[in-house]
Amino acid sequence: MVRRLRALGLTMPLLAFLFAAFIIPVLVFLWQGVHDDTYARYMSHSTPVLETWGGVSEPTEAMYAALQKDLVQARKDKTIGKVATRVNRELPGGRSLFTSTARRAARLEAPYKEALIDLKPAWGRLETWQALRVAAARYTPAYLATSVDLKYSGDGSIRRQDEKRRIHLTLFWRTIEISALVTIFCLLLGYPVAYLLSNLPQRSTNLLLILVLLPFWTSILVRTTAWIAILQGNGVLNDLFVAFGVIGDDSRFSMVYNRTGTLVAMTHILLPFMILPLYAVMRTVPKAYVQAAHSLGANGWVAFWRVYLPQTLPGIGAGVVLVFILATGYYITPALVGGQDGQMISNLIDFHMRRSLNWPLAAAMGFVLLVLVMFLYWLYDRVSGIDRMRLG
Amino acid sequence: MKPFAFFYAAGLCFATTVASAGDLTIVSWGGAYTKSQTEAYFKPWMASTGYRILSEDYSGGLSEVKAQVEAGNVSWDIVDVEDAEAILGCDEGLFEEIDPEILPAAPDGTPAEEDFLEGTIGDCAIGTVAWSTAYAYNQERLSPPPSTIQDFFDLEKFPGRRGMRKTPKVNLEIALVADGVPVDQVYEVMATPEGIDRAFVKLDSIKEHVLWWEVGAQPPQLLIDGEVVMSTAYNGRIFNAIAAEGQPLAMVWDAQVLSGDNWVIVKGTPNLELALDFIRFASMPENMAVQASWISYAPARKSASELVGNYHADPDLKMGPHLPTWPGNMKTAIRNDEEFWADHIDELNERFNAWLIK
């Protein structure tokens, strides 16, 4: 009992660290994707009125009056900008509608309905008020809906996003597609290398292993840029093709700033994550089994397929899961070499984190990505069993 | 205080040096740009006041500022932000308001508010430089040279790939001008759904031949490598390639889109008075003129433009014609309407991205 407690005590620092630096921040961040009280906090009069309003009937004078009161207050408190930014996410142009109305709100007189519509005709539209109703809700599915190309409206309905603005589902699908392709390429390229490594004498193995690890230690930016130099139109590879007469000078291949570039660069960068677990597992496979298969009459292919490969499955599993999950989160490489069709969902998350400051939407997209990866992980577990995965 | 911001800020505490009271932490874009600010503002201000400036680099965006303000743990005092962030951050309450009264008058006595370029004094932001997005080409690879924005969209006269920044900003504007919209009506047209459709139709005509860039360092490199025959670019980057590296690039100023960078003070800084003093110092025309001898961005006030001299590394190179505000370059300039973009960036970004992958 004491020994077990002591053992537990040794893991406590790590657990506490994980909890404080990983689990809680992730949960808090995900929470932001469904909870946004910006409007409710600063617009205390109109929030309850909007909540009781059903979102379908004509807005009443009481609603306009409450809004006018809030606008005056928010301008005085200098919180109008925050509210306006929140509303703009539901209603393009809502930002300037709020700030410019608030500037003149104090001078308006009852009846406020006419006064506001007089000032800005947008106040007479039902969609404006429906957008306000969405913004006023403290708990909202709006961000989650947006992140899967749906539109949550103020009357409670959920419809598909306007066709010209549908982008997220395509990006999620592409992220999965690119990650899967990168994983397959890594496996095809990495398997023979790992086999070679595990069957050479120790001295040559160490040398080759350094060749695998050297890129691993090089900055990802340097490696990505190197691929640009190699693959671009006037790059090393195209120059070689032209020099050897494979292609004409005016028909050079375009291998970068498109999906090809993304696949090549990401495969190269993630390759060590496939080779290392494979190598670790292959080293433990006794040579005697394959020799026994041969002496029992199996040809090379049968011995490999039925005897050797099954013993390396735990390594394949580990490598595949590692590479796939890392690939789904990549964004620097696609941003640099991806061009038009190489962007992934993480590029959009990055955009909303750093540029538009729409953290709730970033959180919602992160949540969808997390669920997607967890689902694939679960699927993998069902098909091949996570307990069979080994890192060596 | 939002809990998430707390954790974010806790992480930052480990990562950044903690300034002692009386030191100013000024955050800017690094590289040649921060170098120009160091020479023109940081060094002389430190020499005259005796206080220290800690210079930090960032890559734009307001996520760090937002985290610091929400956690009540402000370690950045002054940040150099672009127009869009100046508006967004002010709206979100991340910046201190700045009274334009602190700004020094021009040498001839013109009040600062008349001397600064239009729209460069905001509620929270004081303009420092004006820069431009225009297109450039490689003189060795393109002859006869292109000269108008129509040439950029003319695939018959100038075949080959074009570089454009992967964002709807600027691209929609120049597409409309190339389609015949006068530069002073661009944003009126863009405020209508038909105007936006029209811009996308124009972009459609060259879409297959566009290479999209994201980082400012890319366009000069793409032009030098011959990956593109023309590319929109930040004028400072192209100037640097021409003046410092001797590359055969040239700018076409037709339908250039002017934007600016601004000084802002992070809300809740303990060094508010010092920060205001620094911004006052950095807004003196004679100091602003010094910055323009280090980098080809124009001072945000008129009286400073008249004082601009020659390039610091090449006394024979006049900086004037390389600045976006040079009269010859300004004939068809578009002043970026950040208010429009603040309203519509979300929907237009989604539409632009959806258009890209179609």
Q: Which residue of A has its CA nearest to B350?
A: A165
Question: Do B156 and B212 fall into the same domain?
Answer: yes
Confidence of residue B2 (pLDDT cuts 50, 70, 90): very low
Q: Which residue of A has its CA nearest to B59?
A: A354
pLDDT on residue A392? 59
Q: Do B225 and A99 touch (CB under 8 A)?
A: no
Question: Do B264 and B344 fall into the same domain?
Answer: no
- Shortest CA gap B177–chain A (Å): 23
Confidence of residue A360 (pLDDT cuts 50, 70, 90): very high
Residue B231 inside a domain? The answer is yes
Question: Do B211 and B125 fall into the same domain?
Answer: no
Question: Do B337 and B270 fall into the same domain?
Answer: no
Residue B296 inside a domain? The answer is yes
Is-contact A323 A274, C-beta < 8 A? yes
CATH numbers and ranges of domains, chain A? 38-136 (no CATH), 170-388 (1.10.3720.10)
pLDDT on residue B180? 96
Residue B166 inside a domain? The answer is yes
Domain that holds residue B145: 131-258+333-356
Q: Do B357 and A166 touch (CB under 8 A)?
A: no
Q: Which residue of B has its CA nearest to A164?
A: B351
Q: What DSSP letter does each residue of A275-287 carry, written as one string?
A: HHHHHHHHTTS-H
Question: Do B352 and B306 fall into the same domain?
Answer: no
Q: Do B354 and A164 touch (CB under 8 A)?
A: yes
**pLDDT over threshold 70, residue A7:** yes
Residue B328 inside a domain? The answer is no
Q: Provide the percentage of residues in chain B whose pLDDT is more than 90.
A: 77
Q: Provide the percentage of residues in chain B whose pLDDT is more than 70.
A: 94
Give B279's Cβ-side CA count (13 Å radius): 31
Q: Do A25 and B4 touch (CB under 8 A)?
A: yes
Question: Do B251 and B106 fall into the same domain?
Answer: no
Q: Provide the percentage of residues in chain A whose pLDDT is more than 70.
A: 99
Mutation target vs B (from A87, A343, A355; most B CBs, 10 A cutoff): A355
Sequence-ordered list of residues with C-beta below 8 angstroms from that of A128, at least 6 positions apart, any chain: A91, A94, A97, A122
B 84-143: CB under 8 A from A: 88, 90-93
Confidence of residue A335 (pLDDT cuts 50, 70, 90): confident
Average pLDDT over every residue of B62-66: 92
Q: How confident is the prediction for chain B on average, in pLDDT? A: 91
Question: Do B271 and B250 fall into the same domain?
Answer: no
Helix, strand, or coil here: B234? strand
Residue B232 inside a domain? The answer is yes
**pLDDT over threshold 90, residue A249:** no
pLDDT on residue B153? 97
Residue B230 inside a domain? The answer is yes
Give A237's Cβ-side CA count (13 Å radius): 14
The model's pLDDT over A105-143, given as tens digits with 9 standing for 90+, comes to: 999 998 999 999 999 999 999 999 999 999 999 999 999
Average pLDDT over every residue of A329-333: 88
Tokens of A297: 């009459």
Question: Do B253 and B341 fall into the same domain?
Answer: yes
Residue B198 inside a domain? The answer is yes
Q: Do A82 and B356 touch (CB under 8 A)?
A: no
pLDDT on residue B346? 84
Distance of alpha carbon B250 from alpha carbon B90, whole angstroms: 37
Question: Do B21 and B116 fall into the same domain?
Answer: yes
Question: Do B15 and B51 fall into the same domain?
Answer: yes
Q: Provide the percentage of residues in chain A whose pLDDT is more than 90.
A: 64
B 211-230: CB under 8 A from A: 211-212, 214-215, 225-227
**pLDDT over threshold 90, residue B81:** yes
B356 reaches A (C-beta below 8 A): yes
Give backbone dihedrals phi and psi of B52, rounded to 5 degrees, phi first: -105, 150
Is-contact A170 A251, C-beta < 8 A? no
Confidence of residue A257 (pLDDT cuts 50, 70, 90): confident
State the CATH number of the domain containing residue B58: 3.40.190.10
| Other CB atoms within 10 A of residue B47 CB | 8
pLDDT on residue A331? 85
The model's pLDDT over B213-224, given as tens digits with 9 standing for 90+, comes to: 887 888 999 999
Sequence-ordered list of residues with C-beta below 8 angstroms from that of B33, at least 6 positions apart, any chain: B236, B295, B297
Confidence of residue B4 (pLDDT cuts 50, 70, 90): very low
Helix, strand, or coil here: A354? helix
**pLDDT over threshold 60, residue B196:** yes
Is-contact B292 B319, C-beta < 8 A? yes
* Chain A residues whose beta carbon lies within 8 Å of the beta carbon of residue B346: 88-89, 92, 356, 358
Confidence of residue B6 (pLDDT cuts 50, 70, 90): very low
Mutation target vs A (from B353, B355, B356, B358; most A CBs, 10 A cutoff): B353
Q: Do B357 and A165 touch (CB under 8 A)?
A: no
Domain count, chain B: 2
Cis (ω within 30 of 0) for the bond into A111? yes
Residue B67 inside a domain? The answer is yes
pLDDT on residue B313? 86
Q: Do A358 and B347 touch (CB under 8 A)?
A: no
Does ipTM come in above 0.90? no
Q: Do A167 and B63 touch (CB under 8 A)?
A: no
Average pLDDT over every residue of A184-210: 93
Tokens of B302: 């008129």
The model's pLDDT over A24-63, given as tens digits with 9 standing for 90+, comes to: 988 998 999 999 999 999 999 999 999 999 888 999 999 9
The model's pLDDT over B300-357, given as tens digits with 9 standing for 90+, comes to: 999 998 899 999 888 889 999 999 999 999 999 999 998 899 899 888 988 998 898 8
Question: Do B17 and B62 fall into the same domain?
Answer: yes
- Shortest CA gap B344–chain A (Å): 6
Question: Do B173 and B244 fall into the same domain?
Answer: yes
